[in-house]
Amino acid sequence: MPGPAAVALAFMRDTVAGSADEVEPHAWGTLLRTPSLAGVWVLNGLIVEGPRPELTLDDLDALFAERFAGGRYASATLDGEALAARLEPVARERGWKVEHELVMELRREPDRLADTSRVRDGSEEEMLALTDRWFAEDHAADGPETLRQLSEYAAREWRARPTQAFASGDGLAMCKLWSDGTTAQVEDVYTAPEARGGGHARALVTHAVAIAREGGHHLTFIVADADDTPKELYSRLGFDPLHVRTRIVRVDPG
């Protein structure tokens, strides 16, 4: 029986695969191609599954040259921590982008209760509008076409899994809950700049966790940027580190 890390990683793989144009099994894992959203690197690349001690960055470079010729991005998502430790330094030397995701499992009660009385269900329309604000904050320098593609990616994600969305009373903060009946993921926790500091994230995640618990899920998890601070809030809310996954992204300067 797979452990919680393997279950969470498979859940994440299936979600992103549901948003890609093309999904194909590969000897090293799962290959995703999405020519229609070539600016979204998570949808264009390889999810490497297993330790893969034989795999080198040159192997990935050759695969990307063959399968993503002419594309702006190609990414490798490395689920094996030893593999990531081996390939990341080489990727950095070659100027590839590197991201770290911290997968955290709900294991404990929160450090304190949160007032969730103003949390309400959110609609697809308002959640996608808030997501667009989020992208505009983080990717403004990438230009309008990238923002359009990211917006479409968010809409595809909404369709990829049954989504429960929650919003603050003023509609300026949100989070989502995805579920397959046994595994639940709390995702897309965001508060607009003018509403930050009001405890919205704590209230929203607390509410989502309560819904997941009511559903009797065997595993509830959340994913945070391993190099940013929201993981500290999630820890206070009862989530503990489960797995770190690394994504390396080759960027074509042309």
What are 34-62's pLDDT values in tens digits?
999 999 999 999 999 999 999 999 999 99
Q: For the beta carbon of residue 179, count every other beta carbon within 10 angstroms.
A: 18
| 144 and 232 inside one domain | yes
- Is the per-residue pLDDT at 149 higher than 80? yes
Question: Which residues form the domain of 57?
Answer: 4-102+246-251
Residue 150 lies in a domain: yes
In a domain, 86, yes or no: yes
The reply to whether 81 and 144 lie within a common domain is: no
Q: What is the pLDDT of residue 2?
A: 86
Residues 170 and 119: their CA atoms lie apart, in Å, by: 9
| Residue 139, in any domain of the structure | yes
Based on the fold, state whether residues 61 and 175 are members of the same structural domain.
Answer: no
pLDDT at 254 over 60: no
Do 137 and 232 sit in the same domain of this protein?
yes
- Report phi then psi at 115, rounded to 5: -80, 110
Q: Is 180 inside a domain boundary?
A: yes
Residue 220's pLDDT band, with cuts at 50, 70 and 90, is very high
Distance CA 219, CA 164 (A): 17
What is the length of the chain?
254
Per-residue pLDDT reduced to its tens digit, 55-98: 999 999 999 999 998 888 999 999 999 999 999 999 999 999 99
- Percentage, residues of the chain above pLDDT 90: 93
Task: Verify that 86 and 165 share a domain, yes or no.
Answer: no
Question: Is 191 inside any structural domain?
Answer: yes
| Start-to-end CA span in the chain (Å) | 46
Same domain, 138 and 93: no
Instruction: Tell whether the model's pLDDT for residue 253 goes beyond 70.
Output: no
Judgement on whether residues 34 and 145 belong to the same structural domain of the protein:
no
pLDDT at 31: 98
In a domain, 108, yes or no: no
Structural domain tally of the chain?
2
What is residue 34's predicted lDDT score, i.e. its pLDDT? 96
Are 73 and 157 in a shared domain? no
Give CA–CA dist 130/157, Å, rounded.
14
Same domain? For 87 and 181 the reply is no
Question: Is there a single domain that holds both residue 88 and residue 156?
Answer: no
Q: Looking at the structure, do residues 83 and 187 belong to the same domain, yes or no?
A: no
Average pLDDT, the chain: 95
State the DSSP H helix or E strand holding residue 137, giving kind and residue range, or none if neither.
Answer: helix 124-139
* Residue pLDDT, tens place only, 70-82: 888 999 999 999 9
Give the β-pairing of 219-225 and 183-191. Answer: parallel
User: Which residues 6+ apart lie within 8 Å of 109 measured at CB?
Assistant: 238
The CATH number covering residue 151 comes to 3.40.630.30
- Give domain status of residue 112, yes or no: no
Beta strands 120-121 and 97-106: pairing type?
Answer: unpaired
Cβ partners under 8 Å of residue 233, min gap 6: 201, 202, 205
* Residue 109 included in any domain: no
Same domain? 139 vs 53: no
pLDDT of 83 reads 96
